[in-house]
Amino acid sequence: LYSSTGIVLKALAEMEFYIISKNENETLFPSFPDKNYHESSPFAKFEDVRNEVLITLADIGIPTKYGHSEVGTVNRDGLTMEQHEIELLPQRLTEMAEAISITKWVIRNVCAKHGVSVSFSPKVALEHAGNGMHVHLCGIKNGKNVIVGRDEALSEKALKMIGGVLRFARSLTAFGNTVPVSYLRFISRKESPMHVCWGSRNRLALIRIPLWWSFKGKIEGKNSCRRTFEYRAPDPLADAYLLFAGVTVAVDYALKNSREALRIAERLHVEKAGRKQKMLLPQSCFESAENLERDRGFYEAHGIFPRKVIDKTVEKLKGYKDKDLWIRLAGKPSKIEEVLRHYLHYG
């Protein structure tokens, strides 16, 4: 991408996770499902754990923006599950992939030190918010953020990049959504995308334009990524290295096929698509694998993805045999909970 366009892609990840412990003192300062966003101590029980994670990440050189409690709270079976988020600062894609892996390792070890557990599973409980790993993207060329255009609006390059990610959205789930419960997160629609579309400040869209764009006069510094677009499909069990390689393929395709990318961006904007927009994200690992097989020629071009990597990814995804899993389990909440428990400590 850099050799052909001079653009360096940067990304930041928002890492969501549930801290899990025995249910103690919940009656003193109770928390409630979907009401925990940016809550503070004592209602947020594990603020001290999250803060220690942030300090540890700073000590080892992983730049972070901030951490906060998220909406999810689950109290059952004598356990409390409390959702938190840590947002990293933008880095080049390979550096961000490494930072994601290290961040998860630090979170686990700090939690273990405090005698609590953690889950990065995309879905920990049926009626509660899942864990996402939203990825913010921007592009730097000659020190400038290329997605910012005149009047501080989205540039034409930004629209092309958005169109490219939308074009490959269904096959990118093969790298960003790697287990069956990843797709239950989509289906449940708890602030999770389901349709392939984009829009401003719409948390159900696959790609969201953050609120920051509405604040005019905020100067982008050299090499700055203050303005981004947010790709909301991935979850913490993503293979970050393959995911970012796939995103690079999508952006490179878009910049080389400008008219197609711009048409896609126009057609799939939520205000244009409206209720007529019906293209869905995959509903299973199996369906994701089928989309990867259809697009594999684009990923394998120029040796970006070795053929064996695509083969093994397809084999793994189809190996879950989940093609109609959620249809078979519809109306069987106890069976669904069994599946959720199975993946609670994956990744």
Per-residue pLDDT reduced to its tens digit, 178-214: 999 999 999 876 778 889 999 987 777 999 998 766 6
**Predicted pLDDT of residue 38:** 85
Predicted TM-score of the model (pTM): 0.94
- In this prediction, residue 220 carries a pLDDT of 72
Domain annotation covers residue 164: yes
Would you state the pLDDT for residue 19?
98
At residue 27, does pLDDT exceed 70? Answer: no
In a domain, residue 246? The reply is: yes
pLDDT exceeds 60 at position 120: yes
Give the number of domains in the chain. 1
Q: Average pLDDT in the 47-69 region?
A: 97
Q: What is the pLDDT of residues 150-181, one digit of tens each?
A: 888 899 999 999 999 999 999 999 999 999 99
Residue 65 lies in a domain: yes
Q: Note whether residue 336 is domain-resident.
A: no
Mean pLDDT of 234-253: 98
Mean of pLDDT values over 26-52: 85
pLDDT of residue 277: 54
Burial per residue of 216-231, b for 16 or more beta-carbon CB atoms within 10 angstroms, e otherwise: eeeebeeebbbbbbbb
The answer to whether residue 165 is domain-embedded is yes
* Residue-level pLDDT at 211: 76
pLDDT: is 292 or 26 the higher one? Answer: 292
**Residue 40: per-residue pLDDT:** 86
Q: Is residue 111 a part of any domain in this protein? A: yes
Q: What's the pLDDT score for residue 282? A: 97
Q: Please, what sign has the CA dihedral across residues 61, 64, 70, 72?
A: negative
Residue 215 has a pLDDT of 62
> Average pLDDT, whole number, for the chain?
92
Q: Is the pLDDT of residue 26 over 80?
A: no
Residue range 265-291, pLDDT digits in tens: 999 998 765 555 568 999 999 999 999
What sign results for the dihedral spanned by CA atoms 265, 269, 274, 278? positive
Residue 335 lies in a domain: no
Structural domain that includes position 96: 2-327
Check if the beta carbon of residue 305 is closer than 8 Å to that of residue 245: yes
Which is more confidently placed, 258 or 149? 258
- Identify whether 337 is part of a domain: no
Alpha helices in 168-231 (DSSP H): 169-176, 180-188
Question: How many whole angstroms separate alpha carbon 218 and alpha carbon 213?
Answer: 9
Q: DSSP states of 109-161 as a string?
A: HHHHHTT-EEE--S-SSTTSPPP-EEEEEEEEETTEETTB-GGGSBPHHHHHH
The proportion of the chain whose per-residue pLDDT surpasses 70, expressed as a percent, equals 94
Is 90 exceeded by the pLDDT of residue 263? Answer: yes
CATH number of 300's domain: 3.30.590.10
* Cα–Cα distance measured from residue 64 to residue 108, given in angstroms and rounded to the nearest whole number: 17
